Amino acid sequence: MTRARIAALLLAACGLVAGCATPPFAATPDPAAPLVLAKQGSFFVGGRDLRSDALSLLPAYLPSGTITVDQMYVRYQVPVQATHAPIVLIHGCCLTGKTWETTPDGRMGWDEAYLRRGHPVYVVDQTWRGRSASDISAINAVKSGKESAEKLPVVFAAGHEGAWAIFRFGAEYPKTFEGQRFPLKSIDEFWKQMVPDWLNAQPTPNPTVANLSSLAKQLQGAVLMSHSQSGIYPFQTAQIDTAGIAAIVSIEPGACPSATADMMPFTKMPILVLFGDFVDLSTRWAPRLKACREFVAAANKAGGRAELMLLPEMGIKGNTHMLMQDDNSLQIADLLSAWIAKVAR
């Protein structure tokens, strides 16, 4: 390929690169266009050294020593011209940062969709999950007879059958809600994304939250975009310190802050709580939506700028709990990017 050809190819893609002459939000970014990055990489936030005498029962590795836990893995990419606010993508229960990457049926993930919109993107693995280390000392302490079984960590895995209803693919496994938009033909690829969840084995408060606060300050104005189990984390982060939080987007949070909590932290930044479809058909999710409505009202009453979007009320129907992977995932990314551009440019 000649230099001229490369330049032509890149200019052709220019409409998709933020800052080009064409209107930035004219259309959903084309995943087939070349992707031009200013930089990328990965790093950790936080972390604590811990002394243990139960690191190993194998002769090749010493039982005693120091390990580091509670750090949060972050992978980031920055487009050639970052015209929009950086977004931190925080996955939910039993999942990792993979949530936001290529969808189970092979379409572009939200990590790249926001990047192509001009947002720097930061994808994390929650502490004790994925590439963020957990502490397994208690397993060895019990296995060697030094501790009783009750000292074992609280760790769980969500089975396909139970997860089905939680993710609202249908009312119960393997039924489906009519018009649901998750790519179920590729469900096997989705199940591979699920990992054991060490949430309840971690110190309290969850170190992920303090790490998100550090990351937001480091980015000097980040949109914290959370999902499900992590839905509450950006709010908890704001309760520590509102510094560095440009906006909160909480997607189908497992919990919103209580409407009777101190609303002051939540008046300091724009807040969006987003829910998909079939919520009223789920005994798990319907009360959560109701509580989030009450929280949004309370935040606004206190002078905040909070919104609740229920996609079916906006004419967007069929979205499951995993809406970042549904067949209209890029439409929703466009919607959220436009909301961010409006409130947090």
Question: Using CB under 8 A, which residues numbered 119 to 158 contact a copy of itself?
Answer: 125, 130-137, 139-140, 142-143, 145, 149-150, 152-158
Distance in Å, CB of 99 to a copy of itself, minimum: 10
Query: Which listed residue (7, 27, 243, 302) binds a copy of itself by CB under 8 A?
Result: 7
How is the beta sheet containing 87-90 ordered, strand by strand? 72-79, 121-125, 87-90, 222-227, 245-251, 270-275, 305-310
**Sequence-separated (6 or more) residues with CB below 8 Å from residue 63:** 53, 54, 55, 56, 57, 140
Q: Which is nearer to a copy of itself, 9 or 286 (CB)?
A: 9
Distance in Å, CB of 233 to a copy of itself, minimum: 18
- Here's the x/- map for a copy of itself, 199-228, by CB under 8 A: it reads as -x----------------------------
Of 175-183, 189-197, 239-247, 257-265, the segment contacting a copy of itself by CB under 8 A is 189-197
Residue with tokens 């919103």: 256
Distance in Å, CB of 262 to a copy of itself, minimum: 27
Look up residue 197 and give its DSSP letter.
Answer: B
With 0-12 CB in 10 A as exposed, 13-18 as middle and 19+ as buried, what is 303? exposed
Residues 53-112 that bind a copy of itself (CB under 8 A): 55-58, 61-62, 64-68, 71, 73, 75, 80-81, 96-98, 101-102, 106, 108-109, 112
3-state secondary structure 122-147: EEEECCCCCCCCCCCHHHHHHHCCCC
Q: Which is nearer to a copy of itself, 52 or 337 (CB)?
A: 52
Q: Residue 255: count other Cβ atoms within 10 Å of its Cβ.
A: 15
SS3 82: coil
Distance in Å, CB of 1 to a copy of itself, minimum: 4
Distance in Å, CB of 263 to a copy of itself, minimum: 28
Query: Which listed residue (38, 243, 302, 338) binds a copy of itself by CB under 8 A?
Result: 38
Q: How far apart are CA 245 and CA 230, in angstroms?
A: 16
Residue 162 binds a copy of itself, judged by CB under 8 A:
yes
**Sequence-separated (6 or more) residues with CB below 8 Å from residue 291:** 255, 256, 258, 259
**Sequence-separated (6 or more) residues with CB below 8 Å from residue 44:** 71, 72, 73, 74, 132
Q: Backbone phi, then psi, for 328, in 5-degree steps?
A: -110, 30
Q: Which is nearer to a copy of itself, 19 or 203 (CB)?
A: 19
Report how far Cα 101 is from the mean position of its chain's Cα atoms: 11
Q: Which is nearer to a copy of itself, 161 or 313 (CB)?
A: 161
Q: How far apart are CA 27 and CA 121, in angstroms?
A: 20
Distance in Å, CB of 74 to a copy of itself, minimum: 10
Residue 196 binds a copy of itself, judged by CB under 8 A:
yes
Residue 291 binds a copy of itself, judged by CB under 8 A:
no
Query: Which listed residue (27, 30, 37, 342) binds a copy of itself by CB under 8 A?
Result: 37
Of 15-23, 214-222, 256-264, 310-318, the segment contacting a copy of itself by CB under 8 A is 15-23
Residue 174 binds a copy of itself, judged by CB under 8 A:
no
Query: Which listed residue (1, 283, 314, 345) binds a copy of itself by CB under 8 A?
Result: 1
Q: How far apart are CA 184 and CA 160, in angstroms?
A: 12
Distance in Å, CB of 303 to a copy of itself, minimum: 35
Q: How far apart are CA 141 and CA 61, in angstroms?
A: 15
Q: How far apart are CA 319 and CA 83, in angstroms?
A: 29
Q: Which is nearer to a copy of itself, 28 or 300 (CB)?
A: 28
With 0-12 CB in 10 A as exposed, 13-18 as middle and 19+ as buried, what is 256? buried
Of 46-54, 290-298, 318-326, 335-343, the segment contacting a copy of itself by CB under 8 A is 46-54
